[in-house]
Amino acid sequence: TMLAFRQASAFLVLFLAAFLPAPHCAQDPAMVHYIYQRFQVLEQGLQKCTQATKAYIQDFREFSKNISVMLGRCLTYTSEFKSAVNNLALRVEHAQREVDYLEYLREADMCIESEDKMLAEKLVQEAEDEKKIRTLLNASCDNMLMGIKSLKIVKKTMDRDGSWMKDAVSNSPKVYFLIGSRNNTVWEFSNMRALMEDSTKPGPRKLILTHSWQGTGQVIYKGFLFFHNQGTPNEIIKYNLQKRTVEDRMLLPGGAGRALVYQHSPSTYIDLAVDEYGLWAIHSGPGIHGHLVLTKIEPGTLGMEHSWVTPCKSQDAEAAFLLCGVLYVVYSFGGHGPHRITCVYDPRGTISEEDLPNLFFPRRPRSHSMIHYNARDKQLYAWNDGNQIIYKLQIKRKQPLK
C-alpha cells in the first residue's frame, strides 16, 4: 500500500511539472512544497492505517483460530452430550417399564383384595338376608301343597274375567265379587249361600270405589281391599271398605307393572296374594328376562319388606298363589288345559320342585283369570271362563328348617 502511494505521489509531481508551465512553478515554489507536505501527511495516515489493519487481521486470525478450536470442542461435547442424553433416555424408559410393572402388580393385588372384600361383603349380606328372611318368615307355618283333590263350581256368570274372595284372616262369612278386569264396583254378599242363590234376601251390597282396579289381582285383608290402581303402572291402593275411602297407597319398585305378570292373563300386571304370612305382590318387569318377582308387603304401612327374583317365568303362566310363604305358579299351554303347577319357589329354601308330586288341576276349557289361596279355610278361590270355583287341597307338613 505504501509503495503504491509513493508511486502515485511521484507520478503526481511529474504530472504537475509536465503540465504546469515552468515559469509558474518557479514563480510559486510554495505551492509545490505545500502539495508535497500534504502527501507526506497522507502517507503517514495510510501507514498507520496499514499497521492497524495488520493488527486487526492478526487479531481476527487468532480469533478465528480460537473459534475453530472451540467449535471442535463443542462438536466433541455435543457428541458426548448426545450419547449421554440417549443413555439417559434408555434408562428412563427402562425405569418406566419397571414402574409400570410394579403398578400392574399393585393393581392386581388391589383387584384381588377388592374381589375378596366384595366376596366377604356378599357373604355377609347373604347371611343378613337369610337372617332377615328367617325372621320375616318364621317357622309358624309348615304346610306344603301335595295335590288338588276336587273342585266345586259355586256360581256361573257371563263374565270371562273377574275375581272373588273372602277376607283372608277375618271370621266374617261375607263374600266379595269383583266383575271384570277394569271396574270400580264391588258386590258384597252376606255369605256363600247368598252368592250362590240370587233369590236370597237381602241382596248384595253395592260398593262404588273412588278408584278403578286394573287386572284380577285384588285381595281383601283385615277389612281392606288392596288393588292395582287403573291408569298407573305400579300403584297399589289400600281401600277401607267400611269408610269407602283410600286408606293408603304405595308404588312397587323395580319396574313393576310394566310387563304382564302372566302370559295368559292379558289384563293383570300386578297380582296380589295373601297367605299365613300376610300380604304379597307378584309381578314382573324389564331387565329380568320374564322372571316373576315376589315382594313381601307390610299391610299396615304398605312398606316393602323384601323382594325376590324367582326362577319362575311369566311365559305360559296363567295364575299363581302363595301357601305358607311358598309361591306356586300355574301354567297351561296355549291358554287351555291341562293346568298344572310346574314352578315352585320357597324363599326359605325348605322345599323345592323335587319335593312335590305332579300338581294338576281338574281339566277346565280355558285358563284361570285368578287363583287365590285363603289361609282361613285352606282352599283356593278361582275364576275360570265365567265360573267361580273352589278347589279343595291336599296338604302335608314340610320338613323343619335346619
Report phi then psi at 16, rounded to 5.
Answer: -70, -40
Sign of CA dihedral 381, 337, 281, 397: positive
Q: What is the rounded distance in angstroms from the CA atom of residue 324 to the CA atom of residue 276?
A: 6
Q: Measuring CA to CA, which residue among 213, 197, 164, 159 is closest to residue 374?
A: 164
Instruction: Give the start-to-end residue ranges of the domains of the chain.
Output: 2-133, 143-397
The SS3 call for residue 131 is helix
Provide the pLDDT for residue 25: 47
- Residues 372, 389, 169: CA angle, nearest 5 degrees: 40
The CATH architecture assigned to 143-397 reads 5 Propeller (2.115)
pLDDT in the model for residue 132: 61
Contacts of 52 (CB under 8 A, 6+ apart): none
Cβ-based burial of 362 (10 A; exposed 0-12, middle 13-18, buried ≥19): middle
DSSP tag of 402: -
Whether the CB-CB separation of 344 and 334 falls below 8 Å is answered with no
Query: In which residue are the cell numbers 310346574 written?
Result: 342
Contact 330, 317 (CB under 8 A): yes
Please give the model's pTM, rounded to 2 decimal places. 0.68
Contact 176, 188 (CB under 8 A): yes
The helix (H) or strand (E) run that includes residue 39 is helix 29-136
Residues 6+ apart with CB under 8 A from 150: 362, 391, 392
Q: How many CB atoms are located within 10 Å of the residue 147 CB?
A: 15
DSSP 400: P
pLDDT tens-place values along the chain, 402 residues long: 555 555 655 555 555 555 555 444 445 778 778 888 887 888 888 888 888 888 888 888 888 888 878 877 777 767 777 777 777 777 777 777 777 777 777 776 676 767 777 777 766 665 566 556 666 676 578 889 999 988 999 999 989 999 999 998 888 999 999 999 999 999 999 999 999 987 667 789 999 999 999 999 999 999 999 999 999 999 999 999 999 999 999 999 888 999 999 999 999 999 999 999 999 999 998 888 899 999 999 999 999 999 999 999 999 999 999 999 999 999 998 777 789 999 999 998 888 767 778 899 987 778 899 999 999 999 999 999 899 999 999 998 876 555
Cβ-based neighbours of 398, under 8 Å, separated by 6 or more: 142, 143, 144, 324, 350, 351, 355
Q: Spell out a b/e string for 227-261, using b for 16 or more CB atoms within 10 Å of the CB, else e.
A: bbbbebbbbbbbbebeeeeeeeebebebbbbebbb
How big is the CA angle at 114 (ends 109 and 117), to the nearest 5 degrees?
Answer: 125
Distance CA 212, CA 192 (A): 25
CA of 212: how far to CAs of 15, 259, 371, in Å? 141, 19, 21
Task: Give the pLDDT score at 312.
Answer: 96
Distance of alpha carbon 193 from alpha carbon 206, whole angstroms? 17
Report the alpha-carbon distance of residue 112 to residue 107 in Å, rounded.
8
